[in-house]
Amino acid sequence: MLDRWKIPLLLSPALLLIVGLFLGGLFLGLIGSLGYMPQLGREELSFDAYRNILTSESFCLSFLLTFYISFTSTVIASALAIIAALILRRHFIGRSVINFLFQINLTVPHLVGAVGILYLFSQSGFFARLAYEFELIARPSDFPALIYDPLAIGIILQYVWKEVPFIGMILLANMQTFGQDYETAARSLGASRWQSFRYVLLPLLTPGLLAAALIVFAFTFGAYEIPALLGQNYPAALPVLAYQSFTDVDLNARPEALAMGMIIAALSAVMIVGYARLARRYVRT
């Protein structure tokens, strides 16, 4: 009798809080996005907010921009993380120091990284000054716009900076679990170094790499402060646009802001399903 109730009792405080705050917040966002605003006397539900944003140019441009930022950052960070992990798993002098330096920005908040990128890459930043020193440019405005720019290069640089160690640490941990037996076997059967990486190590790493990439994609798709600091005003990244609509004096914009929040949530839900599937497959192998 006692045992039957033990597990639900242990779980209930945490689950109540997560269901109440997290699922509750998502549910309220959903009904709000459908136009349910009892404080304004509106209780009928409609898809107007979704219809409005899906036909508005600013939303569509924002969505495409955000998707492009997330996709590009995730791909570049994953590629660099694979290279970093391949180097860092080897034994060399100073490995522990290098390892520490590699991890250092895992704990540095995103916002600090964004400000650092701003001071490095803005048109009066460190690299612009270096370019001036080497007489590549004559005035700040000659330096290519990498911040507040249409290609969102500053934002992508920030995400890559922050996520390479994150993905890299996960890959390193995976490599440690596999050991090197498979690669050794492949090599002794005549595979080249490239072949043993491409056909043995990479397939082994893929589930972990994809799981990490999904997490990074979902995060970069919903992050506010980095594009708010480094991005251009129009089109703004989706979370920035959602915040702007939410704080708009016109309360009619609220359902639209909530609808954008729902679209961000839906995209991350797809990522979670993918992550759960990968995690399960990963455990089985």
Partner 1 sequence: MTMVEIRIRAEISRDGLSGPTWFALVLLISWLILPLIPLAVWSISRSWFFPDITPSAYSLRAWRYVFSSTSEVLPALGVTTLIALCATLLSAIIGLPAGRALGLYQFRGKSAVELLILAPTIVPGIAVALGLHVVFLNLGLAGSFLGVLIVHLIPTLPYMVLVMAGVFANYNPEIEAQARSLGADPFQTFYYVTLPAILPGLLIGSLFTFLVSWSQYILTLLIGGGRVVTLPLLLFNFASAGRNDITGAISMIYILPGVVLLLLGARHLTGRNTAAESLRQI
Q: Which of residues 27-66 bind partner 1 (CB under 8 A)?
A: 27-30, 32, 39
Q: Does 165 bind partner 1 (CB under 8 A)?
A: yes
Q: CB of residue 183 vs partner 1: minimum separation in angstroms? A: 6
**C-alpha to C-alpha distances, 269 to 27, 224, 275, 277, nearest whole angstrom:** 14, 18, 10, 12
Cis peptide before 235 (omega within 30 of 0): yes
Q: Does 82 bind partner 1 (CB under 8 A)?
A: no
The pairs formed by 51-57 with CB atoms below 8 angstroms and a separation of 24 or more are: 52/256, 53/256, 53/259, 53/260
Q: Does 231 bind partner 1 (CB under 8 A)?
A: no
Q: Does 9 bind partner 1 (CB under 8 A)?
A: yes
Q: Binding residue for partner 1 (CB under 8 A) from 17, 45, 54, 60?
A: 17
Q: Does 120 bind partner 1 (CB under 8 A)?
A: yes
Which span sits near partner 1 by CB under 8 A: 48-56, 57-65, 67-75, 90-98?
Answer: 90-98
Q: Binding residue for partner 1 (CB under 8 A) from 46, 124, 192, 195?
A: 124
Q: Does 84 bind partner 1 (CB under 8 A)?
A: yes
Q: Does 219 bind partner 1 (CB under 8 A)?
A: yes
Q: How many residues belong to the site for partner 1 (CB under 8 A)?
A: 111
Rounded-to-5 percentages of helix, strand, coil across the chain: 80, 0, 20
Q: CB of residue 150 vs partner 1: minimum separation in angstroms? A: 20
User: Could you identify the residue written with the tokens 């570049």?
Assistant: 76
Q: What DSSP letter does each residue of 22-91 carry, written as one string? A: IIHHHHHHHHHHTT-BGGGTB----SHHHHHHHH-HHHHHHHHHHHHHHHHHHHHHHHHHHHHHHHHTS-
Q: Binding residue for partner 1 (CB under 8 A) from 45, 60, 64, 130?
A: 130
Partners of 37 in the beta sheet? 42
Total Cβ atoms within 10 A of residue 283: 8
Binding-residue pattern over the window 175 to 204 for partner 1, x denoting contact by CB under 8 A: -x---x--xx--xx----x-----------
Q: Does 145 bind partner 1 (CB under 8 A)?
A: no
- Retrieve residue 200's tokens: 């043995």
Q: How far does CA 84 lie from the centroid of its chain?
A: 19
Binding-residue pattern over the window 250 to 279 for partner 1, x denoting contact by CB under 8 A: -------xx--xx-xx--xx-xx--xx---
Which span sits near partner 1 by CB under 8 A: 49-57, 64-72, 118-126, 144-152?
Answer: 118-126
Q: CB of residue 95 vs partner 1: minimum separation in angstroms? A: 10
